[in-house]
Structure 1
């Protein structure tokens, strides 16, 4: 019984950590709709709203789990060895969150790779395989009664974490590769791409490390619930990482507003008349036209750069 108490304690620590991340999700979701709700593309807003709904259901399920073990059965210690339906069903919603977020990142791979079918197929296969294992785990686990019986699904648990870690790593590497190739030569755009690379690496690294930690826990302490502490937080990390990237877009653009870039462009595009010393006063109109032309060319250059920036930020 002491072993069960210790393992249940580790699971409860995971629940507390997941609850903290849910608070961060709520703040980031409010911030997103407050700042980008009227300007973003419809499918991005649907993605954020749908994932937040699944995240809220996930939080309700793990809250029910804690209530059932700690409050409802506080005087029945034998209940600690039994499974409750909510802790099993949360695996499905964790998988749904991962599916939506990773599918969104796979779409980025599709666009940044110029519709490379092979790369997109590889990432999509990993994402779908991970979700398929989550669904299979949920269906089979709902037929079990005790934690000891749940150990029979160790293979499926490991598969979910391995596929998740590999998918996150592959997506991050592909995004970093194509973002580096997307450098435009403009200082502002290149600075923005560097920040997008940082967010891509951070997103893949956090979720990959969490999935590996869950996998290692299953391998080393398979008879405990330590792995649950990491798995509860995996979906939250997916959601918060993507929200952090979406919410940082305006700040990234603002941080690249450097007056020196405009000065450099004007100096590069400017072509003064060759014989300025021989120009008389009546040619003042020619100087005005030249300046106007330079301003038009500079404006076109800035518009091109801005268009490239916006395209990458949407991706």
Structure 2
């Protein structure tokens, strides 16, 4: 009589905790890459404004925090809740915090990109377009976080979940298209520079399409 619940428990672990565990492993490896990029930035971009440096530091800290939240969620489900089927029926504080931290990081990253776009193009409406998409995504994520706090034992709110995912994908595509336009307008008479710009444009578009 006890086998069906435990079979369901095992299936939930393999379908949810398994991917979370894999993401933690990959995230741990990428933390070194992100840390190296941050150190390189602070070492060779000392002329950047203080606001930009604070944004980069903020994004770096959020990435580290996001990684530790994922590890904590795995620990709670697999160690604290070991052998307890009911442990997966309730969201932990780490699960809830991951949503907000992730989209706060996305908002900070898009703030950096919007600033860079304004510096390169001097067209404020392009930056506004990037930030509008980021703020809409953050609003859906904030709404989702609030509903998860209010009802941690039920499925996450569909409006908040799909709204955040869809607007995140759209805002990423908008940002990639704007970056491509700005880079394309800065073409040079030198073929080597144009080849580099073309590679950056293709990388930006492909990254947006593949990751979303």
- Whether these two folds match at TM > 0.5 is yes
Residue 156 of structure 1 is matched in structure 2 by 160
1:238-288 alpha-carbon deviations (Å, 9 max, x no partner) = xxxxxxxxxxxxxxxxxxxxxxxxxxxxxxxxxxxxxxxxxxxxxxxxxxx
Residue 140 of structure 1 is matched in structure 2 by 147
Give the number of the structure with larger relative contact order, counting CA–CA contacts within 8 Å between residues 6 or more apart: 1
Query: Out of 182, 187, 205, which is 1:183 matched to?
Result: 187
Helix, strand or coil: the match of 1:37? helix
Residue 210 of structure 2 is matched in structure 1 by 206
The 1:96/1:21 distance shift into structure 2, 3 A limit, reads: farther
User: Within 5 A, what are the aligned runs for 1:282-297?
Assistant: none
Displacement after TM superposition at 1:32 (Å): 2.3
For 2:55 and 2:119, how far apart are their aligned partners in 1? Answer: 17
Contact 1:133 1:156 in 2 (8 A): yes
**Is 1:106 aligned to 2:114, yes or no?**
yes
Contact 1:95 1:134 in 2 (8 A): yes
Displacement after TM superposition at 1:61 (Å): 1.6
Residue 65 of structure 1 is matched in structure 2 by 73
Aligned length: 204
Please report the TM-score for the alignment, with normalisation by the length of structure 1: 0.59
For 2:104 and 2:85, how far apart are their aligned partners in 1? Answer: 33
**Is 1:18 aligned to 2:29, yes or no?**
no
1:109-159 alpha-carbon deviations (Å, 9 max, x no partner) = 333443142x3322221110101111111122112131xx224x0111000
For 1:113 and 1:36, how far apart are their aligned partners in 2? Answer: 22
For 1:164 and 1:7, how far apart are their aligned partners in 2? Answer: 26
Structure index of larger Rg: 1
Displacement after TM superposition at 1:169 (Å): 0.6
User: Within 5 A, what are the aligned runs for 1:195-234?
Assistant: 195-208=199-212
Farther-moved stretch of structure 1 (41-50 vs 184-193) = 41-50
The 1:33/1:108 distance shift into structure 2, 3 A limit, reads: closer
Structure 1 residues not aligned, in runs of 5+:
209-315
**Is 1:165 aligned to 2:169, yes or no?**
yes
Contact 2:69 2:95 in 1 (8 A): yes
Residue 307 of structure 1 is matched in structure 2 by none
